[in-house]
A and B are shown apart, each in its own frame.
Chain A
Amino acid sequence: MIIYLRLSFIRRSTRQKKLRDIWEPIILDYLSTEINLDKTIKRLNVSHHDLYFFTDFTSEYLGSLAGSEYEQLIKLLKKLNLADFEVKKLRRRNVWIRVFALNHLGLIKEKRTIPEIKKSLKDSNPLIFYAAAEALSSMQDADSFDEVAATLLVRPYWNKIRTAEIFLKYGRAAAARLVKFLDDENITSDRKALVIDILGEFKATEMAEELLRLGPRTDDVNIKVSIIKYLGKITYLNAKQFLIASLDDEDWVVRGQAAKSLGFIGVPEAVNKLAFLLKDKVWWVRYLSAQSLANIGREGWARLEQAKHSPDKFARDVSAQIISEMRLNV
């Protein structure tokens, strides 16, 4: 059985390599406009049986090409009806065939396939609805954004990193549409926190005032931390008072994140409180406060130098560490 498996693998990969060797120069000639579309199709001579290989083969190009070369390749794929071939696969029972078809449709970006992809968004299998969401985000189909966001934020299964990447792929315009999900009661706080993190990634400043109002009112640590992170990322000067007040929060994550954001913004008024936090009982708070002091500039640096001779061991050690790290540039 092992020998059979190996031999069939060798047969398959040899065939694949042979086809690749034939197709590659043709595609390169086509992309450099040395041969026209019809001639390319004729020379490629892709049989129905080889379409699976051809899909894999073109995926690599689709993933790496851009601009006119990408458009040219898409023309070729349209002529070969590759999108229809992939859409047909969406009706298959095998989950992985459907996932790969969705991935490929996301690369081909043919708008007419969007309704079919959207159907997969309703599938109960996370592998399928995530692949559909990824395909739609690759196509940057703004009309589907709300549906994608609702699927990813409300469904019980969620994958934080994939969700974030999908939202980020939609681009900056998605920020304003994400905001409304912050008021949705069906969405849990960790997902709302992710929405705020993404607003920070987009540097969506238009939400700053609203989030600054929400920050002091919320009891949810996840959300509070994300708001503080967001305000630091957009270096929002109006947030100074809220951030300085957060240095007194009983939760160490909030204190640490507030110290970090104050360092990002560079708030000299926070120097006293940050210097006080060099004695905090939590190492991370001490470390981030010291880092923040170093980032604030001359006043912060002076307080760090001063803390090196503090009677408090915590303050002494952490300031010495940050000063040494800064000098060693690590």
Chain B
Amino acid sequence: MFENFVIKIVLLFDIVAVIFFIGLNGTYIFMNILAFFNIKNYVSELKAVDLNRIFRSSFYLPVTVISPAHNEEATVVSSAKSLLQLKYPEFEVIVVNDGSTDNTLAELIKAFNLKETPRTYAKKINCQEIKRIYTSPDYAELVVIDKENGGKADSLNAAINVSKYPLFCTLDADSILERDSLLYITRPFTEDPRVVAVGGIVRIGNSCDIREGEVYEVSVPPSNLARFQIIEYLRAFLFGRVGWSILNSLLVISGAFGSYKKSVVIAAGGYRTDTIGEDMELVVRLHQFMREQKQPYRINFIPDPVCWTEVPEDFATLGKQRSRWQQGLKESIFFHIKMLANPFFGVVGTFAMPFFFVFELFGPFVEFFGYFTFAFSLYFGIVDYLFAFYFFLASLVLGVVLSVGSLVLEELSFRRYPHLRDLIVLFFYAFLENFGYRQLHAWWRLKGLKNSFFGGGGWGDMKRKGL
């Protein structure tokens, strides 16, 4: 009796798994096709556009670059210096010292000869108390905010309040922008007034030679984990985000590099401080806000402005990061659950949100349940070996095809990895990631899912070597 019941459950799950598999990979393939044409066009467009025109133009939109810092005494000065060297006609850099307990502020004061200023601002979004604002007589574009600790989202809100310009660009403390990144990322705002947010590509800088915003040499790092992440990032950014952006359904703009129209973000209420995934939550909220206001809008992703970041090279840190991302995903979806499958929200409500809910949020659960039922099936001797073999083969081939597809997109467009050897290594890792790394990744995400429903997790410390 029990055996029959278990067999029925297993067979039912088999059907669910096949539908899940088709839905997930079908969407990925669709995104790949969309991204292919879009990136091809984008690359041609770049050849035709004279970026210096924006640099010379008096019709550009000035930008505030925001870099929150909490206990970053070792890197904060070099990071601020590299931001001050960005190529853009009019911008300010706001470094937010978010209640650091180390010498972050003292280092900034010493390096930039900062003076306390009675700068006023309109507190349009709630944030922790701003204790002091500093400017530098030597670096007119630099503003430093010293505030009570409130987390990254709170720091961003404080900087939005203090900022002068209509656009702002957010960065992680360890992100390094290429010198002309701002010219690229602000272009969509000047070309299309409907654009309210633009995400830029984040690339992995471990082992690359990057000095003061200039990338001297791009190479594949020796660490296996970093190599797997290169494949992941290429897949996520080059076809995932590009694809969703074409459908105007992009739900994530990485906190490491994104730019926004300030007035819209303020109208939508700024960053939420009670979530671990404030970057994704803001983007989802912007979709909701603009749709509810019945305003035409676009949230774009452009694959070229490059931000380099350091990724974890040890299992513990990477596991915590991925688990945290999964919690952020859950919170962002559940905060805006009314958008799910709601035609009022257009493609975002009817396609993007359900996809993220079913495949991205609960995907790890389905994957692990699959391994579990396979073990059961083996035990009860009900495995259709031929079907299992074909299913495994299809999943492997599709996994490899999608990863290699992002490498092909990279090769057709930006060719950031100059050595053929690097490409061959990445190709090998695109194959290898299916054996162990993918399962481990699913496990971390499953833990994140568990933490988001039952508590636990948190930020943890990132072990950095520095770019």
Q: Report the minimal beta-carbon distance from B192 to chain A, rounded to whole angstroms.
A: 8
Check A3–B423 contact: CB distance below 8 A: yes
Q: Tell whether A328 pairs with B407 under 8 Å between CB atoms, given A3-B424, A6-B420.
A: no
Q: Report the minimal beta-carbon distance from A97 to chain B, rounded to whole angstroms.
A: 9
The answer to the question of B408 belonging to the interface, with a C-beta cut-off of 8 Å to chain A, is yes
How far apart are the CA atoms of A329 and B115 in the complex, in Å?
12
Check B120–A321 contact: CB distance below 8 A: yes
**Tally of B interface residues using CB under 8 Å:** 36
Check B117–A2 contact: CB distance below 8 A: no
Instruction: Name, among B57, B119, B415, the residue most crowded by chain A CB atoms within 10 Å (CB to CB).
Output: B119
**Contact mask for chain A residues 82-102; partner B; CB cutoff 8 A; 1 contact, 0 none:** 000000000000001001100
Question: From A282, which residue of chain B is reached at the shortest CB distance?
Answer: B122
How far apart are the CA atoms of A317 and B47 in the complex, in Å?
48
Which of A21-29, A42-50, A158-166, A295-303 lies at the interface?
A: A158-166
Residues of B within 8 A of A96 (CB): 41, 44, 47-48
The answer to the question of A324 belonging to the interface, with a C-beta cut-off of 8 Å to chain B, is yes
On chain A, which size bracket covers the interface?
35 or more
Check B120–A286 contact: CB distance below 8 A: yes
The answer to the question of A103 belonging to the interface, with a C-beta cut-off of 8 Å to chain B, is yes
The answer to the question of A231 belonging to the interface, with a C-beta cut-off of 8 Å to chain B, is no
Question: From B140, which residue of chain A is reached at the shortest CB distance?
Answer: A330
Check B115–A2 contact: CB distance below 8 A: no
Q: Tell whether A159 pairs with B191 under 8 Å between CB atoms, given A3-B423, A3-B424.
A: yes
Residues of A within 8 A of B137 (CB): 328-330
Q: Report the minimal beta-carbon distance from B21 to chain A, rounded to whole angstroms.
A: 25
Check A161–B59 contact: CB distance below 8 A: yes
Residues of A within 8 A of B57 (CB): 161, 164-165
The answer to the question of A9 belonging to the interface, with a C-beta cut-off of 8 Å to chain B, is yes
Residues of B within 8 A of A314 (CB): 120
**Contact mask for chain B residues 412-451; partner A; CB cutoff 8 A; 1 contact, 0 none:** 1001000010011001000000000000000000000000
Residues of B within 8 A of A131 (CB): 48
The answer to the question of B402 belonging to the interface, with a C-beta cut-off of 8 Å to chain A, is no
How far apart are the CA atoms of A9 and B59 in the complex, in Å?
37
The answer to the question of B60 belonging to the interface, with a C-beta cut-off of 8 Å to chain A, is yes
Residues of A within 8 A of B44 (CB): 96, 99
How far apart are the CA atoms of A328 and B427 in the complex, in Å?
55
**Contact mask for chain B residues 164-199; partner A; CB cutoff 8 A; 1 contact, 0 none:** 000000000000000000000000001111000000
Check A330–B58 contact: CB distance below 8 A: no
Check B117–A165 contact: CB distance below 8 A: no
The answer to the question of B121 belonging to the interface, with a C-beta cut-off of 8 Å to chain A, is yes
Among A5, A100, A161, A286, contact of B411 (Cβ-Cβ < 8 Å): A5
The answer to the question of A30 belonging to the interface, with a C-beta cut-off of 8 Å to chain B, is no
CB proximity to A under 8 Å, residues B39-71: 41, 44-45, 47-48, 53-54, 57-60
Check B140–A165 contact: CB distance below 8 A: no
Check A2–B411 contact: CB distance below 8 A: yes
Q: Report the minimal beta-carbon distance from B392 to chain A, rounded to whole angstroms.
A: 24
How far apart are the CA atoms of A197 and B408 in the complex, in Å?
45
Question: From A198, which residue of chain B is reached at the shortest CB distance?
Answer: B59
The answer to the question of B321 belonging to the interface, with a C-beta cut-off of 8 Å to chain A, is no
Residues of A within 8 A of B45 (CB): 127
Residues of B within 8 A of A5 (CB): 408, 411-412
Check B121–A283 contact: CB distance below 8 A: yes
Check A161–B191 contact: CB distance below 8 A: yes
The answer to the question of A209 belonging to the interface, with a C-beta cut-off of 8 Å to chain B, is no
Check B408–A160 contact: CB distance below 8 A: no
Q: Report the minimal beta-carbon distance from B9 to chain A, rounded to whole angstroms.
A: 42
Residues of A within 8 A of B408 (CB): 1-2, 5
Check B59–A2 contact: CB distance below 8 A: no
Among A10, A320, A329, contact of B140 (Cβ-Cβ < 8 Å): A329
The answer to the question of B136 belonging to the interface, with a C-beta cut-off of 8 Å to chain A, is yes
Check B48–A99 contact: CB distance below 8 A: yes
Check A324–B424 contact: CB distance below 8 A: no
Check B120–A283 contact: CB distance below 8 A: yes
The answer to the question of A69 belonging to the interface, with a C-beta cut-off of 8 Å to chain B, is no
Q: Report the minimal beta-carbon distance from A127 to chain B, rounded to whole angstroms.
A: 8
Residues of A within 8 A of B122 (CB): 282-283
Q: Tell whether A325 pairs with B117 under 8 Å between CB atoms, given A161-B57, A161-B59, A201-B58.
A: yes
Check A317–B120 contact: CB distance below 8 A: yes
Question: From B189, which residue of chain A is reached at the shortest CB distance?
Answer: A161
The number of A-B residue pairs with CB atoms under 8 Å apart is: 87
CB proximity to A under 8 Å, residues B12-50: 41, 44-45, 47-48
The answer to the question of B118 belonging to the interface, with a C-beta cut-off of 8 Å to chain A, is yes
CB proximity to A under 8 Å, residues B326-378: none
Residues of A within 8 A of B120 (CB): 283, 286-287, 314, 317-318, 320-321
Question: From A281, which residue of chain B is reached at the shortest CB distance?
Answer: B122
Residues of B within 8 A of A320 (CB): 118, 120
Q: Report the minimal beta-carbon distance from A206 to chain B, rounded to whole angstroms.
A: 21
Question: From B56, which residue of chain A is reached at the shortest CB distance?
Answer: A165
Residues of A within 8 A of B427 (CB): 2
Question: From A97, which residue of chain B is reached at the shortest CB distance?
Answer: B44
How far apart are the CA atoms of A10 and B423 in the complex, in Å?
14
How far apart are the CA atoms of A197 and B136 in the complex, in Å?
33
Among A1, A9, A100, A330, contact of B135 (Cβ-Cβ < 8 Å): A330
Residues of B within 8 A of A6 (CB): 411, 415, 420, 423
The answer to the question of B280 belonging to the interface, with a C-beta cut-off of 8 Å to chain A, is no
Question: From B53, which residue of chain A is reached at the shortest CB distance?
Answer: A165
Residues of B within 8 A of A7 (CB): 420
How far apart are the CA atoms of A165 and B56 in the complex, in Å?
10
Q: Report the minimal beta-carbon distance from B42 to chain A, rounded to whole angstroms.
A: 11
Residues of B within 8 A of A318 (CB): 120
Question: From B412, which residue of chain A is reached at the shortest CB distance?
Answer: A5
**Contact mask for chain A residues 274-302; partner B; CB cutoff 8 A; 1 contact, 0 none:** 00000000110011000000000000000
How far apart are the CA atoms of A325 and B47 in the complex, in Å?
41
Q: Tell whether A328 pairs with B54 under 8 Å between CB atoms, given A6-B423, A9-B415, A160-B193.
A: no
Among B117, B404, B415, contact of A321 (Cβ-Cβ < 8 Å): B117
CB proximity to B under 8 Å, residues A94-118: 96, 99-100, 103
Q: Report the minimal beta-carbon distance from B353 to chain A, rounded to whole angstroms.
A: 30
Residues of B within 8 A of A328 (CB): 115, 117, 135, 137
Q: Report the minimal beta-carbon distance from A195 to chain B, rounded to whole angstroms.
A: 13
Q: Report the minimal beta-carbon distance from A167 to chain B, rounded to whole angstroms.
A: 10
Q: Report the minimal beta-carbon distance from B121 to chain A, rounded to whole angstroms.
A: 7
**Additional A-B contact list (16), CB under 8 Å, known A161-B57, A201-B58, A318-B120:** A1-B404, A2-B407, A5-B411, A6-B411, A6-B420, A10-B420, A164-B57, A165-B59, A286-B120, A287-B120, A317-B120, A320-B120, A321-B117, A321-B120, A328-B135, A330-B136
Cβ-closest 9 pairs across A and B: A283-B122, A320-B118, A317-B120, A96-B44, A161-B190, A330-B140, A5-B411, A164-B59, A328-B137
Q: What are 29 A-B pairs with beta-carbon distances under 8 A?
A: A1-B404, A2-B408, A2-B411, A3-B424, A5-B408, A5-B412, A6-B415, A10-B420, A96-B41, A99-B44, A100-B47, A127-B45, A127-B48, A159-B191, A161-B54, A161-B57, A161-B59, A162-B191, A201-B58, A282-B122, A283-B120, A283-B121, A314-B120, A317-B120, A321-B117, A321-B118, A324-B118, A324-B119, A330-B137
